Amino acid sequence: MDRRSFMGVAGLYPLIALLPRSCQAQGGQTPKDNEFVLAGEYGFEQQSIRNLQPGATIDARNASFTVANSRNSNPSATMGCDEGPLPINRYSLVIRNCPGVRFIGGRFDGQVPLTSDWRDTYCNSAALLVRDGTTDATIEGVRGRRCWDGVRFAEHADGFRLKGCWLSEIRDDAVENDYLLSGVIEDCLFDGCFSGISLDPASNDRDGTRETVRIDGSFIRMHAFLSKGEITHQAPIKAVDRSPRLRITRSVFALAAANMRGFHRLERTWRLTVESRDNVLLWLPDEPIPAALPLPPSGFRLLMGANARAYWNKAHSQWTAAHQDVVRFSDEVL
């Protein structure tokens, strides 16, 4: 075992040793009455649940997980996120081959660096990873913060439904759907993310033009982080021409940085939108909207500056008050 591996194991040992017995169970065991319960502090120990019977429930309302993607607290060009003595847990919970599963709750506390450059901090990670035959999954009531990606849907996880989830201080994508799957994102609060919903397969040869993603009753506020030497953020939806069609209803997109990137992605978002009604686009800065910013289609109302910030603050307060069942962190007021 080399020094780096030894330090990683040594850093994990005290946390694993203190886990209660009920937390030692790994995924794949047969749940009682088709219900699998996760409870307690899992820390840096990845949980992998697989091969549950169709329609099973995973109750994680009393479970907490730690997400960490960097081996040091301030990755840089000279010491990247793969170097250092800190423990990592890049995928704290993975669900595989659980068709029709309903996952409820879960508190994911991230230790992803928030001030280092995005490029140096890019060690891929997600709080919750759904993949490998987990079709028609419902992910409900998740609370996550300071993660790289919040929830990621990967291969063979089509037909997903993300409902009533609260994600904040997300360093990359609140939701990554780079496999271009059909799904629904409803009644969610993404309160501060570099990118809201990713529908970008990058160089992979995927085609989502026959798929549809519906965004309903959801609130997405962008947050500017250091990226390639600039404090900025991406578009609420990272879209390419091959992305799924979009149905956006009763939702709010809030743009936070006057120098935001992704104007071309924003233009594609509007072009891919086949349904738009009762939405609001908020321009939060006091600076005027850039002339090059692509404006949304009909079905969006535009608010700017102080009016936009007041609208967001009210919407945020109303959402959190209406979702008392979503678990809070100890430093958050109920």
Which region, left, alpha or beta, applies to residue 12 given φ > 0 means left and ψ of -120 to 50 means alpha? alpha
pLDDT tens digits, one per residue of 274-326: 999 999 999 999 999 999 999 999 999 999 999 999 999 999 999 999 999 99
pLDDT score at 31: 58
pLDDT in tens, 39-90: 999 999 999 999 999 999 999 999 999 999 999 999 999 999 999 999 999 9
Rounded alpha-carbon distances, angstroms, from residue 93 to 25, 77, 166, 223: 13, 29, 17, 25
Mean pLDDT value of segment 98-110: 98
Beta bridge partners of 228: none
What pLDDT, on the 0 to 100 scale, is given for residue 144? 98
Band of residue 14 on the pLDDT scale cut at 50, 70, 90: very low
Q: Quick: pLDDT tens for 180-229.
A: 999 999 999 999 999 999 999 988 899 999 999 999 999 999 999 999 99
Q: pLDDT band at residue 32, thresholds of 50, 70 and 90?
A: low
Q: Give mean pLDDT, residues 260-281.
A: 97
**Closest-CA residue to 122 (of 113, 135, 131):** 113
Q: What angle do CA 62, 16, 10 make, to 5 degrees?
A: 145
pLDDT greater than 60 at residue 257: yes
Per-residue pLDDT averaged across 128-155, rounded?
98
**Residues 157, 137 contacting (CB under 8 angstroms):** yes
- Give the span between the Cα atoms of 249 and 87, in whole angstroms: 41
Angle (CA) 321 326 332, round 5°: 70
Q: Is residue 60 a contact partner of residue 105, using CB atoms and an 8 Å limit?
A: yes
pLDDT of residue 332: 86
Q: Of the candidates 253, 190, 263, which has an alpha carbon nearest to the alpha carbon of residue 232?
A: 263
Question: pLDDT digit string (tens) for 146-158?
Answer: 999 999 999 999 9
Percent above pLDDT 90 for the chain: 87
Mean pLDDT of 251-271: 97
User: What is residue 211's predicted lDDT score, i.e. its pLDDT?
Assistant: 98
* SS3 (DSSP) at 118: helix
What is the dihedral sign for C-alpha 311, 312, 318, 319?
positive
Which domains does the chain possess? 3-322 (2.160.20)
pLDDT at 18 over 80: no
Q: What SS3 state is found at 143?
A: strand
In angstroms, the CA 61 to CA 106 distance is 5
Q: Is the pLDDT of residue 6 over 90?
A: no
